[in-house]
Structure 1
Amino acid sequence: MKNLKKEFPVTANYTHLNTAGSGLLSETLLDFRQNHDLDYLVYGSVIKDKQDKFISGVRKDVGSFFKCHPSRVALVPSFSIGFNFLLDALPSKTKVLLLQEDYPSINWPVEARDFEICYAAIDEHLEENILQAVEREKPQILCLSLVQYVSGVQIDFEFLKKLKENFPDLIICGDGTQYCGVEEFDFEQSGLDILGASTYKWMNAGYGNGFFLFKEAMQEVLKPKAVGFASIRGLYKEENEHALIGKFEPGHIDTLNMGSLQAAIQLVKKVGYSNITEQINTLKKQALEAFASRGLLDDFVTQRKVHSSIFNIKGDQKLFEKLKAKDIICSQRGNGIRISFHYFNTESDLEQLLKLI
């Protein structure tokens, strides 16, 4: 992996092990944003005339990137906004399966509505817990993070695929905020019916952008209530006033923020997904072995076959302050310190962390 300190200037001054908290601003993204606002400054509302075409281009790139037809790609400011639209598209008393202690932006909106709710535990038997809950409770929809924000536990995608095959009527909705951007993902071939994500973390796309992807069958299942003038503006919406994505886009779509997502996708293509995944997997393997040998991880994490590049290591406030003082950026989550590795990190970043620990 080439040195990326120039592309991500923060890494020249800090050891950034906090992508799970926030991604970085790249030079590629900065160039786009500066040029976009310069055009706005010079041309004013003239650039508005090109908005629909521009947004259609972003939609096409997002769809191509995640293997989903662009007519089923909704562009949203954040996962939370899109997810609330989604929940309002479900009938009251819908039975929803959640994971205990999953990300608040998933569980809280569900728990705030008039749904029947059941739960599965997050531990080394996560997939078996979900299967048993589906068999026992017979939920209509499963909503879960693909990667857990506290522990870094990652769901087995093959399990989700088999789950969908065995329970075809079960709607499976995944939050990819802590996943999208670390490896290639084929939405059409996955077990997911719906994939949503904010893209300011692992996509390094800045704030104010995200997406929701839908399988074809969701057009008939979901009945969103949100609507606005933009619901029928642009490609795939003008020819179908009842288009599902239009109900997730009732208002103006910010070309600066959505263009930032497009620029971030272009950077990933430039670096190469294979290079990104290889670097993340290398660091993930080394970190898992190092943390486990020092007794820094919960037992259930080391017992799982699948894990992300997010780790919650055992550490108190004193250790956290020590790391901050040495310019290592991380987060306190749960009962420990959350460390996360992305492709701009290096083996020396891990070595420096281990020396301080």
Structure 2
Amino acid sequence: MKNLRKEFPVLSQYTYLNTASSGLLYDSLLDKRQEHDLDFLIGGSIFRNSQQEFLNGVRTTIANFFDASANNTILTPNFSLAFNTLLNGLEKDKKVLLLDQDYPSINFSVQSKGFEVCFAKVDASLEQNIEKAIQKNKPDIFAFSLVQYINGIAIDLEFVTALKTKYPDILFVADATQFCGTKNFNFKDSQIDILGCSGYKWLLGGYGNGFMLFKDSVLDHLTPVSYKKTALEVDYDPSYTNLQARFECGHLDTYNFGSLKNSLDFLSKVGIKTIEHTIQELTSFAKEEFTKLNLLEHSVLQRQKHSSIFNLNTNEKVFNHLNERNIVTSLRGTGVRISLHFYNTIEDLEVLLKNL
């Protein structure tokens, strides 16, 4: 892993502990991006002639990486855009279960569109809170992040599987932006109906790309009756009601989606299981050391498993102190958030601990 650090110029200048805010650009990806624009420069519209074939290759790469169906994979500039498109296709009489501290791109989007909402509390008993909320409120949809962006609490995927088996009629929609790229994940075997992700964080894809994965037949639940009726009455081609037509309106940027494809290939070469193991080692060390310094909230301390995101119980003064010493973190919630990826090392954490 230390040799791979040479791919990331930022790491020679900073102790970078901020992937939850933005993943890093790396040398070989920069080469590919420059090659893309050179092809466009000298080809013009000829370059665009192969766009559809190229984008199909991007979908296939995403599907293979997460063991999903390429036909049920859609490309989107970011999770938020696709999620709002999804919500626009749902009848507003649906009741949606949310997590009370979840990312505003989920919670605000749902609440602002007039859905009836209910909440489960994010704490040490997250899974039990979710099931109690389902029993009490009987929601039609459960929309949630797999990893909480503020404190890094991660929902138990085995619990999600058991919950969906118990409540098969609830539509499970997951934001995996703070998850994908940190663990080996099989979408087909999961009980999640729809999984979305922006590619600029743990997948290292840069900005302007993301995807959504759908289980078979889910589209039928997302397309309004009026949409289907119009397509039939005006005699539009059936493709106007498929996943791509519903979610991929207009042209797609081969530069950005090419970056995502290249990064998935890059992560595959490193090995997602190797990445997962490295992150687990860093996370275990970090949690142990942060616990000694009394820097973690009670909810995190009480949970056996945790993501690689931590919110440290400190303040803006400490954040500025770290920043002055080229230690890159984020202010989130009531503390300083740090996040660890495979290009981080124990030495990075030791630099942080020394300054804390």
Aligned position for 2:244? 245
Distance 1:225 1:175, change over 3 A: farther
Aligned position for 1:230? none
- Give the C-alpha shift of residue 225 in structure 1: 9.4
Q: Sequence identity of aligned pairs in percent?
A: 47
**Matches of 2:37 and 2:47 in 1, distance apart?**
10
Q: Specify the code of the residue in structure 1 equivalent to 2:315.
A: D
**Matches of 2:28 and 2:40 in 1, distance apart?**
19
**Matches of 2:263 and 2:182 in 1, distance apart?**
13
- Give the C-alpha shift of residue 20 in structure 1: 0.5
CA contact (8 A) 2:91 2:224 kept: no
**Matches of 1:250 and 1:87 in 2, distance apart?**
16
Distance 1:183 1:225, change over 3 A: farther
Q: Specify the code of the residue in structure 1 equivalent to 2:153.
A: V
After TM superposition, where is structure 1 displaced by more than 2 Å over at least 4 residues in a row?
A: 1-5, 224-227, 238-242
The correspondence of residues 197-236 of structure 1 with structure 2, limited to 5 A, is 197-223=197-223
- Give the C-alpha shift of residue 277 in structure 1: 0.9
What's the TM-score, normalizing by structure 2? 0.95
Aligned length: 348
Aligned position for 1:132? 132
Aligned position for 1:166? 166
What's the TM-score, normalizing by structure 1? 0.95
Aligned position for 1:280? 279
**Matches of 1:65 and 1:111 in 2, distance apart?**
33
Aligned position for 2:254? 255
- Give the C-alpha shift of residue 278 in structure 1: 1.2
Distance 1:183 1:226, change over 3 A: farther
CA contact (8 A) 2:39 2:47 kept: yes
The question of 1:338 aligning with 2:306 is answered no
**Matches of 1:278 and 1:239 in 2, distance apart?**
45
Deviations 1:240-274 (A, max 9, x none): 44212321001101000000100000110111112
- Give the C-alpha shift of residue 3 in structure 1: 2.3
- Give the C-alpha shift of residue 125 in structure 1: 0.5
Aligned position for 1:89? 89
Deviations 1:21-59 (A, max 9, x none): 100001121111100001111111111100000000001
**Matches of 2:221 and 2:244 in 1, distance apart?**
13
The question of 1:75 aligning with 2:75 is answered yes
The question of 1:195 aligning with 2:216 is answered no
The correspondence of residues 288-327 of structure 1 with structure 2, limited to 5 A, is 288-327=287-326
- Give the C-alpha shift of residue 222 in structure 1: 1.2
The question of 1:123 aligning with 2:123 is answered yes
Structure 2 unaligned segments of length 5 or more: list them.
228-236
Q: Specify the code of the residue in structure 2 equivalent to 1:305.
A: Q
Q: Specify the code of the residue in structure 2 equivalent to 1:4.
A: L
Distance 1:89 1:279, change over 3 A: same
- Give the C-alpha shift of residue 75 in structure 1: 0.2
Aligned position for 1:109? 109
- Give the C-alpha shift of residue 165 in structure 1: 0.2
CA contact (8 A) 2:78 2:211 kept: yes
Q: Specify the code of the residue in structure 2 equivalent to 1:201.
A: K
CA contact (8 A) 1:226 1:248 kept: no
- Give the C-alpha shift of residue 309 in structure 1: 0.3
> Cα RMSD between the aligned structures?
1.6
Structure 1 unaligned segments of length 5 or more: list them.
228-237
Distance 1:225 1:247, change over 3 A: farther
Q: Specify the code of the residue in structure 2 equivalent to 1:277.
A: E
- Give the C-alpha shift of residue 239 in structure 1: 7.4
Aligned position for 2:231? none
- Give the C-alpha shift of residue 162 in structure 1: 0.4
Aligned position for 2:32? 32
- Give the C-alpha shift of residue 184 in structure 1: 1.3
- Please state whether the residue corresponding to 1:220 is helix, strand or coil: helix
Aligned position for 2:17? 17
**Matches of 1:109 and 1:304 in 2, distance apart?**
29
**Matches of 1:165 and 1:204 in 2, distance apart?**
33
Aligned position for 1:157? 157
Distance 1:325 1:226, change over 3 A: farther
**Matches of 1:189 and 1:314 in 2, distance apart?**
37
CA contact (8 A) 1:77 1:210 kept: yes
- Please state whether the residue corresponding to 1:173 is helix, strand or coil: strand
CA contact (8 A) 1:88 1:225 kept: no
CA contact (8 A) 1:28 1:264 kept: no
The correspondence of residues 44-55 of structure 1 with structure 2, limited to 5 A, is 44-55=44-55
Q: Specify the code of the residue in structure 1 equivalent to 2:281.
A: T
- Give the C-alpha shift of residue 306 in structure 1: 2.1
